[in-house]
Amino acid sequence: FGLLVHWVYHQEFDLPRVEGKEGKFSADYEKLAELWILAQRTLMPALQNHVIDIIFDSLSKQDLWDGSNFGRLMELAGENDPTSPLSRLAINTLVYSCALFFDAQVSSTPPSLAVSIMKGLKMNHAERKSWGEGMGGNSSYHVARTSGPRKQN
């Protein structure tokens, strides 16, 4: 909640970090995913997009299986709408990452994302694309800034 309040006043915040293996620090994907979900619930698309930009940038620079808590991002994405930008980013990260990362994260992958992951693997794995290639830029995961309240089914 503190990150949300800081965003409201400053339109920015420092990257939350978590200590991983051998004292290395990585982005705290759990806090970032929670903030994205909170921004989704409070209809703050600019914050959602800012969080996606941070996650996207961090994912492109980091060795995910070396102490990151990316698995928590996957869990939170699985509890959210499987078609949301956060879920799509989590899925595409697994699809386009190397086999070691996928092997390390498969146990924390929520069943609700499994079908989308398998479809992505089937379509893209044979081409052996690198992490960012084929994913599009970070704006591929942005939400529309003019979105109104979502209809409840």
pLDDT in 10s for each residue of the chain, 153 residues: 788 888 889 988 888 787 766 666 778 889 999 999 999 999 999 999 999 999 988 887 776 656 578 888 888 998 888 889 999 888 888 776 655 556 666 677 777 887 787 777 666 655 655 555 666 677 888 898 875 555 444
Q: What tokens does 109 get? A: 């992958």
pLDDT in the model for residue 41: 93
| Helices 2-10 & 29-41 angle (0-180, nearest 10) | 70
| Contact by Cβ (8 Å): 60, 132 | yes
pLDDT in the model for residue 152: 46
pLDDT in the model for residue 70: 83
58-63 long-range contacts, Cβ below 8 Å, gap at least 24?
Answer: 58/15, 58/26, 58/27, 58/29, 58/32, 59/27, 59/89, 59/93, 59/131, 60/131, 60/132, 62/26, 62/27
Q: What is the residue type of 28? A: D
pLDDT in the model for residue 50: 93
